[in-house]
Amino acid sequence: MDSLTHIVLGAAIGEAVLGKKIGRKAMLWGAFADTIPDFDVFASPCFSDAQQLLVHRGFTHSFLFILIMAPLLGWLFSRWFKKAEVGWKDWTWLFFLGMFTHVLLDSLTAYGTGWFEPFSHYRVSFNTIFVADIFYTIPFLLCVLVALIAKNGSPKRVKWNKAGLWISSLYLVFTIVNKWHVHSGIEEQLAEKHIAVTDVVTTPTPLNNFLWMSYSKDATGYWFGYHSIFDKTDNVDFYHVNKKDSLIRPFENDESVKLLKRFSKDDYIMSEHDSNIYFNDIRFGQMGGWNGPDSAFVFSFKLDKKADNSAALNRSRFKTSFSDAVSSLITRIKGI
């Protein structure tokens, strides 16, 4: 999830765990605890562009990292803040909950989270919520802000903090149930249209949980479809995009491309524009794909035959403005 969401979640956890003992400072340290796994971004300069994709949400998002860091940080903070009358167990519990909820929340998105690093490189991704969802974050943020303004230890402070945790948790439950409903409908539509596929993946589109994208693999590529829970019918118009694997053959021995394939879990499509070849990770969809198959993929990397790809994996830029993209998204969410 985005940084703001982790800060809000961490602040709420901090208040719930230590609010009665250290007041507003609990929100500060809770927010800090929840952002620790994302400190991996500070290591980015040490790695190539392709390696950075796998370093992020790698070891610092693993259970092993949490089990090591929570008691260590708990001990350090109990030593640094002896006057706060907060013991090692309380600090450890704060850091454990902060980091654990961060990792759990990230695993609900499509990016993939390295729960089992360094023993396994498998990335957990449940695809139930987008990496930034305003319907999850904004109500949660408002509740936490009201709690922050309230007096230390006041019933109002406790009430609003609990409300934020409950509302956000119930929304996550909604996203899981919603995914099950949408996924079942997509599978039924594929069967009704006699489209033979080996796998079906459903994932929400940016900023919401109402419009969903699906991609389904067959022998030559992928079938894409979009469905809003506000659509008047269950019908989904699927379109097919060829994987064009032949375009990746000149790069198959390149280490950066191998890392891209691993990052994408082999769910990618190759494309060629103006003599340039692009590697498109399809898990994050197309910006405007609900309007047709010609939209640009969110994660698209230009490969350069004449250069070292570790320095040539440049993210493509969208031709559509942000405001136009959001307007188009809202229109499609409303249903057809």
The residue among 125, 99, 97, 108 whose CA lies nearest residue 1 is 108
Same domain (yes/no): 113, 76: yes
When mean pLDDT is compared across 3-12, 61-70, 252-261, the lowest value belongs to 252-261
Q: Please tell me the pTM assigned to this model.
A: 0.93
**Element spanning 227, H or E:** strand 221-228
SS3 of residue 175 by DSSP: helix
Say whether both 151 and 86 belong to one domain.
yes
Judgement on whether residues 206 and 109 belong to the same structural domain of the protein: no
Distance of CA 222 to the CA centre of its chain: 22
Same domain, 96 and 144: yes
CA angle 267, 269, 272 (to 5 degrees): 160
Lowest mean pLDDT among 65-74, 82-91, 170-179: 82-91
Helix (H) or strand (E) holding 102: helix 88-107
256 shares its domain with 332: yes
CB 208 within 8 A of CB 135: yes
Are 201 and 122 members of one domain? no
pLDDT at residue 56 is higher than 90: yes
Both 168 and 223 in one domain: the answer is no
In a domain, 186, yes or no: no
DSSP codes of every residue in 270-283: EEEETTEEEEEEEE
| Joined tokens for residue 74 | 């708990």
Is the pLDDT score of 126 beyond 50?
Answer: yes
CB atoms within 10 A of CB 233: 8
Last residue of a domain, one of 116, 150, 176: 176
Number of compact structural domains in the chain: 2
Residue 311, pLDDT > 70, answer: no
Q: Let me know: does 319 contact 296? Beta carbons within 8 Å.
A: yes
For residues 93 and 151, what is the distance between their CA atoms, to the nearest angstrom? 24
Residue 81 CA to residue 26 CA, distance in Å, equals 12
| Residue 302, pLDDT score | 86
Decide if pLDDT at 150 tops 80.
Answer: yes
**107 membership: H or E segment, kind and range:** helix 88-107
Q: What is the pLDDT of residues 244-281, one digit of tens each?
A: 999 999 888 888 899 999 999 999 999 988 888 999 99
Q: How far is CA 303 from the centre of its chain?
A: 25
335 vs 231: CA distance, rounded Å: 4
The pLDDT confidence band at residue 104, using thresholds 50, 70 and 90, is very high
Q: Give the range of the structural domain holding residue 63, as residue numbers without chain letter.
A: 3-176
Per the structure block, which two tokens stand in for 139? Answer: 């109500």
Output 200 or 306, whichever has higher pLDDT: 200
Q: Which of 147, 176, 205 is the last residue of a domain?
A: 176
**pLDDT tens digit sequence for 73-82:** 999 999 988 7
Residue-wise pLDDT tens digits, 194-211: 999 999 999 999 999 999
Q: Are residues 171 and 215 in the same domain?
A: no
